[in-house]
Chain A
Amino acid sequence: MSRRAIEPFLWGLFSAGGVLAALFIPVHLFLQYLAFPLGWLPAPSYEHMLALLRQPLVRIYLFALCSLALFHWAHRFRYTLYDGLQIKHITELINLFCYGGAIAGTALASYLLWTVP
Chain B
Amino acid sequence: MKEAPAHTPYHPRWYRSRVSTYWWLGKWAHLKFILREISSVFVAVFVVLLLLEIWALERGPGAYAEFQRWLESPPLVALSLLSFFFVVFHAITWFSLAPRAMVVRLRGTRLPDAVIAGSNYLAWLIVSVIIGWALLGG
Interface residues of A (CB under 8 A from B): 17-19, 21-34, 36-38, 41-44, 46, 48-50, 52-53, 62, 65-66, 69-70, 72-73, 76-77, 79-80, 84-86, 101, 105, 108-109, 112-113, 115-117
In the bound complex, do residue B137 and residue A80 qualify as a contact, i.e. CB atoms below 8 Å apart?
Answer: no
Nearest CB on B from A53, distance (A): 6
- A-B interface pairs (CB < 8 A), number: 152
Question: Does chain A have a CB within 8 A of B81?
Answer: yes
Summarize B's interface: helix, strand, loop or mixed.
helix
> By DSSP majority rule, is chain A's interface helix, strand, loop, or mixed?
helix
Interface pair B41/A62, CB less than 8 Å apart = no
User: Could you list 18 further interchain pairs (A-B, Cβ under 8 angstroms) beyond the known A25-B91, A29-B49?
Assistant: A21-B87, A23-B120, A23-B123, A28-B50, A31-B132, A33-B71, A34-B81, A37-B76, A37-B77, A38-B72, A42-B136, A77-B41, A84-B24, A84-B37, A101-B44, A108-B51, A109-B51, A116-B57
**Interface residue range, chain B:** 35 or more
B50 → A minimal CB distance (Å)? 6
> Given the known A-B contacts A41-B136, A84-B34, are A29 and B58 also in contact in the complex, defined by CB atoms under 8 Å?
no
Instruction: Write out, one digit per residue, whether chain B residues 96-125 have a CB within 8 A of any chain A CB (1) or not (0).
Output: 001000000000000000000000100110
The residue among A17, A36, A70, A76 with the most chain B CB atoms within 10 A of its own CB is: A76
Which of A25, A44, A112, A115 counts the most B-chain CB atoms under 10 A from its CB? A25
Cβ B37 vs Cβ A80 within 8 A: yes
